[in-house]
A and B are shown apart, each in its own frame.
Chain A
Amino acid sequence: MIPSELRSGAGYWIASLRAMLRFDYGRMRAWAAMLVLIQTMMGAGMALLYGFFYPHITPFRALYITTGAPTLALIPLGFVMLPGSVGQQKIEGTFDYIWALPAPRSAQATSTFLLYALLALPGTVLALLVAAWRYGVHLSPSPLLLPAVLLCALMAIAVGYGMALAISDPLVTNLVTNALMFVVLLFSPIVYPPSQLPGWLFAIHRVLPFYNMAVAIRAGLTAGVETQVMTSFLVLAAWTVAGCSVIAWIVTRRR
């Protein structure tokens, strides 16, 4: 029977969000451990791996690698795993099924968002701990760390999700995310100072999110290494807003 009136309002939205969280978690549960494991390995693993490339790890290099580790853990989750999972949903048809559910799409998107944000944290913390232990770096965390990590996680998930929604062909998404990872891991000044880049490349990185993530998180972990933190926070906020706008635009439109 068709309900006589349309359900809406804040109460309905929250109930939908709760239902979607249960639905998403139920689907993800089998993979959640694997995802956390992979993300940890990516973050902590990358931190160890960069060290192998250097004949001698000076304290300066160690500091950069250690404070870059949380950034390395956040990027794959938002920019690779989330788009990959959405791509898989599109292939399987689950994506259309979810959109057909009688829950507001904003609640559906929020649910995905929240779950991935939760999933991102353990791997990020562990990456930092492993790196600090491996390189014996002394860190001086400040209260700035919390907003920095939260903003970076939000930004990565918002942009990754927006990208996954905006690109309709899962194969293209796969190609884009892989290319992104390659560029990020090699050509971004996350685990090394930007002074090692050619000027034009650094100019590009000032507006891209990756270098700014590293700056924000490094500023929260050290004292006096990063000076232009405000700019980075602004750039990250702008990317978050852009990502959210794309998500909002796509989930509210009809096909």
Chain B
Amino acid sequence: MTTIAPPINVRRGAARWWRDYISMLRWHLASLRMWFVTLTVVQVLTGAGFVLGISLFFKHIPVRAALFASTGVPVLNLLMVGLILGPQLVADQKANGSQEYLRTIPVGRLATAGAWYTVCLAGGVPAMVVSLLVAWLRYDIPLHVSVMIVPAIALTTFTGAMFGYALAHAIVNPMATRLITQLLVFVIFGFAPILFPIAQMPRWLGTLNWWFPFRHMAVVIRAALTSGPNSAVLAAYGVLGAWSVLCAALAGRALGRRA
């Protein structure tokens, strides 16, 4: 029998959370639709393209340069959706009103953020695998994938997604969002030691990078992909963890704020 009376019991708990999470995930995927496919293709092309293109900078590319570029490109792949596309999507949502609509949906912040995090992973990990495969085929670099790749991917993507979320809600003007994300692309490509050894940039810039998450993302991902001890990994996890907590708190506040 159906009834039009409001439900007597407010549903809560894990089952409710899971249902919310699934609906938000479906909402995200449905609203991205074709874009998600395009995005995946673009991600794969840029990742593989960069891995191949870096060799054009040199007459004969040194193995070390190839290794750094090949293990740095996965970081860019993981950041692209959460950090770069995310803020632009939120800016679009603000412009077309769907941001307001989303606020009215009775879904918890955690489910909303969790669904978006899943989208970021789905948009990043396949491209990362392809980039690594291309790098391995092209340069025959010595890759040793360890179990630590799982937390490295999880934390890198999470920090990127939350950073993007916090940024998107902090900036009001869509034009400013576009400019700042383009600036971020620039920073993660060339002014953070992701694609090349830190010794190749000025010392002060390397030190400055210690306070930002991007350098540490490269450290944890690279450590999980290559063999040999790396003393910086523990500190990198620490800094990344701090950034992820900070950004998640900011993003949570932005998501829960009443208009």
Residues of A in contact with B (beta carbons under 8 Å apart): 31, 34, 38, 41-42, 45-46, 48-50, 52-55, 84, 88, 175, 179, 182, 186-187, 189, 192, 195-197
Contacts and interface: CB of A to CB of B under 8 A. Distances in A.
Interface string B114-154: 00000000000000000000000000000000000000000
Interface SS, B side: helix
B36 interface: no
A189 B57 CA distance: 9
A88 B64 contact: no
Nearest to A85: B175
Contacts of A187: 49, 53, 56
B59 A196 contact: yes
A38 B65 contact: no
Contact of A45 (B49, B191, B196): B191
Contacts, number: 63
Given A52-B196, A53-B65, A53-B195, A196 B186 contact: no
Contact of B56 (A31, A45, A196): A196
A210 to B, nearest CB: 13
Contacts of B193: 52
Interface residues of B, number: 29
B200 A182 contact: no
21 contacts: A38-B179, A38-B183, A41-B186, A42-B186, A45-B191, A49-B186, A49-B191, A52-B190, A52-B193, A53-B54, A53-B57, A53-B195, A55-B64, A55-B197, A55-B200, A84-B178, A186-B53, A186-B56, A187-B49, A187-B56, A197-B56
Contacts of B53: 186-187
Contacts of B183: 38, 41
Contact of A53 (B38, B182, B200): B200
B201 interface: yes
Given A38-B183, A175-B42, 20 more contacts: A34-B179, A38-B179, A41-B183, A45-B190, A52-B193, A52-B201, A53-B54, A53-B57, A53-B195, A53-B196, A53-B200, A54-B57, A54-B200, A55-B64, A55-B65, A88-B175, A179-B42, A187-B49, A187-B53, A196-B59
Given A52-B190, A55-B200, A192 B54 contact: no
Contacts of A182: 46, 49
A197 B55 CA distance: 9
B49 A196 contact: no
B62 interface: yes
Contact of B200 (A38, A42, A52, A175): A52
Interface string B195-226: 11100110000000000000000000000000
A54 B197 CA distance: 10
B195 A55 contact: no
A252 to B, nearest CB: 30
A232 B235 CA distance: 52
B201 to A, nearest CB: 5
Nearest to A51: B200
B101 interface: no
Contacts of A88: 175
A64 B19 CA distance: 58
Contacts of B17: none
Contacts of B175: 31, 88
Contacts of B54: 53, 186
A52 B42 CA distance: 25
A45 B59 CA distance: 23
Interface string B58-70: 1100101100000
Nearest to B174: A88
